Amino acid sequence: MDAFFASVEVRENPKLIGKQVIVGYDGNRGVVLSATYEARKLGVHSAMPMSRALRLAPHAIVVEPDHSKYSEVSENVMAIFESITPLVQPLSVDEAFLDISGAQKLLGSPTQIGEIIRARVSDEQGITCSVGVASTMFIAKLATNFAKPDGLHVVSADKVIEFLHPLPIGALWGVGEKTAEQLSRLGLVTVADIANTPVKTLTRVIGQGAAEHLYELAWARDPRKVTPNQAEKSIGAERTFDSDIDDPELLLAQFLDLSNKVAKRLRDANFFSRTITIKVRFSDFTSVTRSKSLVSATDLATDIYATSKNLFTAMNLQRARIRLVGVRATGLIPTSESAIQLELSDRDAGWREAEAAMDQVTQKFGSSAVKPARLIETDN
């Protein structure tokens, strides 16, 4: 869906059509949950402190969120998807993958089905949605970005490389700021650059697992299938503070502690995780989540914390007051069934040995017997 929360509010109050609308709680301690494209054009985005958002868009109308209403609309939209095809994999309240291969005989071409979906969501729910159509999940997701707002973008099988290769390397799943910086030193700027670089060369810079992953994506090879109604297994930990915290260093220390807890629970349960999600709840009780899929699945706290730290830092909260933080590992793979070969550098092997030793100590003497030095300093 396009600017989902804000779109629902505009639907409820037509006087807001064409206006700069921000969903969130007004005041110095509030944060932006959603914003119309009119507000986004001025630089407003989700998770931004409300005070900064209103400086960027001083004439914006602030609407308090109604999550029960958003959940109802989300359920109705998912029902529309499921009437098109039973193969629906929700990603969040406002996003899903659909496998429409079996629906084409009855409903027409992928373009026609995309238009049917958009029309029904608009007619039945009064909001807009953008649809990306492609032969793989990866390309369909990218196509959706090109369709926004309120559009349809189709990438036919014979046009995939033409569509993909001019994009910046950041379009590839798994390329964050650090990886992009490493690749840029090789002069790699576009997806085409990755596709035309030998895997051995990429491996020297980012490791074998990441190199093979990015090379495959650069040639649009994505073997994943839409998995409907999958009950997502996850392992996580949260911490609610006695009083709100706005110190980034203290918050990062909490993420480090939670990352260690999640990693140990993963190892105890014999799982690797493909995706790390952080949760931040603000003083006004609004919550924001951010997720990142990993190049290689992991059960190491050092990987989980590095990802959590990057996600939190990228939110640029500017000392917003925070009541709760959480870390969750999803996309779980049983170690006994996983065909993933972890890319173990000397540094990775050292961390694995260290965390295995920590597991043995905590099992014998309790969870407080050993912890990272940074957490001991924080406790003191």
Catalytic residue numbers, as ranges: 95
CA 312 from centre of chain: 12
- Strand-pair partners of 330: 234, 275
CA–CA separation, 101 vs 84, rounded Å?
Answer: 11
- Strand-pair partners of 63: 23
CA–CA separation, 111 vs 139, rounded Å?
Answer: 15
CA distances, 223 to each of 137, 288, 321 (Å) = 9, 30, 42
CA–CA separation, 126 vs 10, rounded Å?
Answer: 9
* DSSP H or E run through 79: helix 67-84
Short-list 227, 212, 176, 218, CA closest to 193? 218
CA–CA separation, 264 vs 83, rounded Å?
Answer: 41
b/e 239-275 (16+ beta carbons within 10 angstroms → b): eebeeebeeeeebbbbbbbbbbbbbbebbeeebbbbb
